[in-house]
Amino acid sequence: MARVRAGDVVLHYEEVGDGEPLVLVHGSWNDHHAWQAAVEADLKASFRVVAYDRRGHGRSEAVPGQGTRRQDEDDLAALIEALGMAPAHVAGNSFGAATAVGLAARRPELFKTLTLHEPPLVALVLDDPASMSELRPVMGTIDAVKDLLRKGEDAAGAKLFVEGVALGPGAWETMPEPLRDTFITHAPTWLDEQQDPAWSALDLDALGACAVPVLLSHGTESPAWFTTVLDRLAAALPHARRHTFHGAGHIPHMTHPQEYAQVLTGFARGA
């Protein structure tokens, strides 16, 4: 079992392949296994790939008390440095993308390239009426999920999140039981993430100092407000490119792993 200490927590990671280093940062409710299909599709043939469990996920430790996204960012920095990977290609999805870009705003020297798919940086679009019109019903459902989790009703909260926010009605029953168990297991960590007051914010002025190549991607099946978030990031980043995954949503590395791997590999090699 590969483990590395990052400050107050021990992180579990898996490493495969040879070549330039690539670190994969997963989103909420899951762990490093979310990347498996994309790693097998092509990534391990092109990179030294490290996929790790963020604190409170998978086999990594959880630390008592309120956590912050800043801690996740520092964990990512510690992982890169402890494994001698700097500067590394880094790819993040959802909350993992928010973690990666938050670190890039503070420690750009750790990155060779940065690939981000739909970071849920809601604070960047609070002034956009179209985005907020789309987000308000979702925020109401998320508040209901949080209420269930605070009562210890993790299974009910996970089901409501899957069907009311992520995948739609009926999706919970069609999910394999191990995947449902993964959601239930990580429900307390998701609640902890949501209770960090700064979890969805980002210093765009600081991000402007990140001069590494950045690929910003979205799926055509995802809500439009993610595109507005990417617009704000693209305006701040000196070297940002865009990519659209047609027919995909919030997790293209899982639903379209071959295409995702090819896009990431092509971008990193080109950069």
Where is the domain boundary, 194, 209, 227?
Answer: 194
Query: Quick one: which H or E segment has residue 243?
Result: strand 240-245
**Within this chain, do residues 153 and 224 fall inside the same structural domain, yes or no?**
no
Looking at the predicted structure, is the pLDDT value of residue 146 above 80? yes
**Within this chain, do residues 237 and 222 fall inside the same structural domain, yes or no?**
yes
**Within this chain, do residues 119 and 40 fall inside the same structural domain, yes or no?**
yes
- pTM greater than 0.95 (yes/no): yes
Per-residue b or e along 132-171, where b marks 16 or more CB atoms closer than 10 Å to that residue's CB = eebbeeeeeebebbbebbeeeebebbbbbbbbbbbbeeee
Query: Residue 167: what pLDDT?
Result: 86
pLDDT tens for 77-100 read 999 999 999 999 999 999 999 999
Where is the domain boundary, 142, 177, 194?
Answer: 194
**Within this chain, do residues 205 and 223 fall inside the same structural domain, yes or no?**
yes
- Tallying the residues shown for the chain, one arrives at 271
Query: CB–CB of 23/54 below 8 Å?
Result: no
Name residues whose C-beta falls within 8 Å of residue 168's C-beta, 6 or more positions apart in sequence. none
Looking at the predicted structure, is the pLDDT value of residue 1 above 80? no
**Within this chain, do residues 178 and 220 fall inside the same structural domain, yes or no?**
no
Q: How far is CA 141 from CA 134, 136, 146, 148, in A?
A: 12, 9, 9, 11
Give dist(CA 88, CA 48) in Å, integer.
10
Q: What is the mean pLDDT of residues 227-254?
A: 97
**Within this chain, do residues 121 and 133 fall inside the same structural domain, yes or no?**
no
Query: CB–CB of 109/102 below 8 Å?
Result: no
Count of domains in the chain? 2
Query: Residue 221: what pLDDT?
Result: 95
Query: CB–CB of 27/94 below 8 Å?
Result: yes
Q: What is the mean pLDDT of residues 244-270?
A: 97
Q: What is the mean pLDDT of residues 180-194?
A: 97
Mean pLDDT for the chain?
97
Residue 44 belongs to domain with CATH number: 3.40.50.1820
What range defines the domain where residue 137 resides? 129-194
**Within this chain, do residues 189 and 205 fall inside the same structural domain, yes or no?**
no
**Within this chain, do residues 241 and 190 fall inside the same structural domain, yes or no?**
no
Nearest to 99, CA basis, from 74, 125, 78: 74
Q: What are phi and psi of 111, to 5 degrees?
A: -110, 140
**Within this chain, do residues 90 and 209 fall inside the same structural domain, yes or no?**
yes
Where is the domain boundary, 154, 177, 194?
Answer: 194
**Within this chain, do residues 10 and 109 fall inside the same structural domain, yes or no?**
yes
Query: Residue 271: what pLDDT?
Result: 85
Give dist(CA 20, CA 265) in Å, integer.
11
